[in-house]
Chains A and B, each alone.
Chain A
Amino acid sequence: QVQLQESGPGLVKPSETLALTCTVSGGSNSNNYWSWIRQPPGKGLQWIGYVYNNGRTNYSPSLESRVTISVDTSKNQFSLKVRSLTAADTAVYYCARGDDSSWLSFDYWGQGILVTVSS
């Protein structure tokens, strides 16, 4: 059974950089797109971007200038950095696995981590 677990700070100051890590256990394959998705309180889901197993990335244009996603296959981890934070970045951040054998749907999710941007 694949499991994902987010880790990182719950409170970050405006203008600073958020760094989150997702640890994957239980196996993966070469056809996985490791994504970050966020959900502001009371609102819907927003895809941030993905890193493929070979390190190739793809980002949402609305966040591309401030976001970096990377993978460390030796540690079974992938990471998210969001720069120049504002209150609008306050959200629950989820990591999730996309699998091209299931139409690129997100079949496994982490539990989510609430990140609040506030001074």
Chain B
Amino acid sequence: DFQMTQSPSSLSASVGDRVSITCRASQSISLYLNWYQQKPGKAPKLLIYGTSNLQSGVPSRFSGSGSGIDFTLTISSLQPEDFATYYCHQSYSTPWTFGQGTKVEIK
């Protein structure tokens, strides 16, 4: 299986901050890396697919980068509605796997 490791597991930040979350794969997954946002009691929402493609309707303050084994989700200016848990997901090889999640909290 392809193991996905996110860091940090949690972070505290203020509105307006630039925030980055990293995801490392145990083996190369090319560009098959996707990012989701999940709020309490809700289903995950797709933010970024294929490493850097912004899903329709997602604000442009979200961006993704990387390739191979190292990937990054960046929020350029954190907004109140961005406080949530973020998951990376590799779709390169089954079993498809997720990172353990990064909780973004208000500082």
Q: List the interface of chain A (C-beta within 8 A of B).
A: 35, 44-47, 58-62, 94, 96, 98, 102-107, 109-112
Distance of A112 Cα from B44 Cα, bound (Å): 10
| A102 x B98 contact (CB < 8 A) | no
Task: Let me know if B95 and A107 touch, CB within 8 A.
Answer: no
Chain B residues near A112 (CB-CB < 8 A): 43
Q: Complex Cα distance A103/B42, Å? A: 23
From B49, B97, B101, give the contact of A105 (CB < 8 A): B49
CB distance from A91 to the nearest CB of B (A): 13
Flag whether B55 is at the interface (Cβ < 8 A).
yes
* Interface SS majority for chain B: loop
Q: A61-B95, A107-B49, A109-B44 are in contact. Are A44 and B89 (CB under 8 A)?
A: no
How many A-B residue pairs have C-beta atoms within 8 angstroms? Tell me.
64
Interface residues on B, range: 20 to 34
Q: Are B46 and A47 in contact (CB under 8 A)?
A: no
Interface: B31 (CB within 8 A): yes
A3 to B98, CA, bound (A): 23
Q: Is the CB of A110 within 8 A of B46?
A: no
Assess whether B83 is interfacial by the CB under 8 Å rule.
no
A61 to B31, CA, bound (A): 24
Given A44-B100, A44-B101, A45-B87, A105–B46 Cβ distance below 8 Å?
yes
Is A105 a contact partner of B95 (Cβ separation < 8 A)? no
Known: A103-B31, A107-B46, A110-B43. A44 touches B96 (CB 8 A): no
By a CB distance below 8 angstroms, the chain A residues around B1 are 61
